[in-house]
Amino acid sequence: MAVSWDEWEVPSHGQPRPEDYGFDLDRALSAVVAVTARVPADAFTADTLGTERSGNGVVIRDDGIVLTIGYLITEADEIWLTTVDGKVVPGHVVGIDQNTGFGLVQALGRLDVAALKLGDSTRVMPGERVLVGGAGGRTKSVKAKVLARQEFAGYWEYLLDDAFFTAPAHPHWGGTALIGPKGDLLGIGSLQLQHENATGAVAPMNMMVPIEFLEPIFDQLLTQTGHAPARPWLGVFASEDDDKVVVVGLAGNGPAKRAGLREGDSILAVHGQAINSLSGFYRHLWALGQAGVEVPLTLDREGDVFDVRIASGDRKRFLKAPRMH
């Protein structure tokens, strides 16, 4: 499952140049590897995320620990890591944190690349010049700047209090390395979104998970011990529409589907607390307690307002566990 570096290139004007940086650019970018994963067809996430996934990861320890974005490796039973020199090494999933979105992979062979040092993402401010590194070196990397750092709520029951937004966007953003002016790792690429640029045109940007969120959970992810209690999960895909939270999909046979929720339902309140945003929905949901707690919702279905109670679940229990090698 090697990756062909010839499939695409960042336009030359958008590529980083060694003379523009006060660190060894090629050495830093060599820490970014391609991550290719295969997922069983009967996996819970197979329909939404696919069974063959590819993206990037960053070697952050000399023993071959690779940091990536978790959706690339969720439920994977086969993982391959490819270096800029074309070396292919198998790996296995060490852990995935559903709250931040980070995932860890252990290389099962020598990658022979230097690990990228973790930086201090708390000091990064909008306007700062950064580099979004993709697997394959300079031609697969993008010169960028931080547009904003602010809250981000995702439709899949995901919330970051503080996320990076960068542009120009990297075309293969998943698991990319956000590299700062000191050549250290400041974040991991998660999504591509849209924003209005200085000319008024709509252009793509990337959402990045700041590296500051890794330190508090790193040992737990690495050893799979001491995890905090799981948050209650409903299996709802939702969006905001005119100050309403609307169900736009349901995850597999998750708690929400079992309880009879439907696409198009508007969620008006959680446990009697009115909500008008995704972030408000999640915060009220998670404030009820641990996974398994009963969640009272008030719904609006085509003008019919009614209450429903859902037995929440632990998201991880619906997913295939990593296969150890």
* Residue 25 in domain: yes
pLDDT 10s digits, 76-118: 999 999 999 999 999 999 999 999 999 999 999 999 999 999 9
Residue 208 sits in the same domain as residue 251: no
> Are residue 53 and residue 98 in the same domain, yes or no?
yes
Cis peptide before 168 (omega within 30 of 0): yes
Distance of CA 316 to the CA centre of its chain: 16
Using DSSP, state whether 95 is helix, strand or coil: strand
Closest-CA residue to 229 (of 319, 133, 312): 312
- What CATH number is associated with residue 245? 2.30.42.10
Q: Which residues of 63-82 are buried (b: 16+ CB within 10 A; e: fewer)?
A: ebbbbbbbbbbbbbbbbbbb
The total of other beta-carbon atoms located within 10 Å of residue 84's CB is: 19
The verdict on residue 323 lying in a domain is: no
**Are 270 and 224 within one domain?**
no
Q: Which of 184, 200, 228 is the last residue in one of the domains?
A: 228
Q: How many domains in the chain?
A: 2
Q: Based on C-alpha coordinates, what's the Rg of the chain? A: 20
Of 213, 214, 207, which is closest to residue 174 (Cα–Cα)? 207
Predicted local confidence at residue 321, as pLDDT? 83
- Beta-bridge partner residues of 165: 148, 207
Tens-digit pLDDT profile for residues 103-161? 999 999 999 999 999 999 999 999 999 999 999 999 999 999 999 999 999 999 999 99
pLDDT digits (tens, 9 = 90+) for 175-230: 999 999 999 999 999 999 998 887 888 999 999 999 999 999 999 999 887 678 99
Give the dihedral of Cα atoms 271, 273, 277, 280; nearest 10 deg. -80
- Please indicate, yes or no, if residue 324 is contained in any of the structural domains: no
Domain range holding 279? 236-318
Ranges assigned E (strand) in 121-176: 129-133, 142-154, 158-167
Q: What is the mean pLDDT of the chain?
A: 95
Q: pTM for the whole thing? A: 0.95
255 token code pair: 């708690």
Q: Which of 202, 228, 254 marks a domain boundary?
A: 228
